[in-house]
Amino acid sequence: DTGVSQNPRHKITKRGQNVTFRCDPISEHNRLYWYRQTLGQGPEFLTYFQNEAQLEKSRLLSDRFSAERPKGSFSTLEIQRTEQGDSAMYLCASSHRTVANYGYTFGSGTRLTVV
């Protein structure tokens, strides 16, 4: 396992369509985070899982956004009825509970463009 994997790397969609992104964390990491990053900004927290439980959601996560982590392994982030304002880089990170002090491993991100 070489790191956090995110698919797809790029996604272009028309406004109003639904999109789904996938994140495969490092296998022994039980914590998984989703962030959104727009141009010129730092990553903004969206949601957090510990194993399969979604423990925290940001106010940024509107009702059009949903995230799952079945069986505590990979996670999906779905955006329904996409809007142009959803265009951003979506980053996934994972960490292990006992080594969280030593950094969170990020994937390469999924860049979403809504046209």
Identify the residue among 26, 61, 88, 93 touching another protein (CB under 8 A).
Answer: 93
> Nearest CA to 109 among 31, 52, 46?
46
User: What are the respective helix, strand and coil percentages of the chain, to the nearest 5?
Assistant: 10, 50, 40
Find the helix or strand (DSSP H, E) in which 113 lies.
strand 110-114
* Residue 81 Cβ vs another protein, minimum distance, rounded to whole Å: 26
Amino acid at 10: H
- Residue range at the interface with another protein (CB under 8 A); choices 21-29, 60-68, 74-82, 103-111: 103-111
Residues 78, 66: contact at Cβ < 8 Å?
yes
* Residue 45 Cβ vs another protein, minimum distance, rounded to whole Å: 5
Residues 88, 110: contact at Cβ < 8 Å?
no
Chain residues 23-62 in contact with another protein, contact rule CB under 8 A: 33, 35, 40-45, 48, 56
Question: Measured from the CB atom, is 15 or 26 closer to another protein?
Answer: 26
Name the site residues for another protein (rule: CB under 8 A): 33, 35, 40-45, 48, 56, 89, 91, 93, 100-109, 111
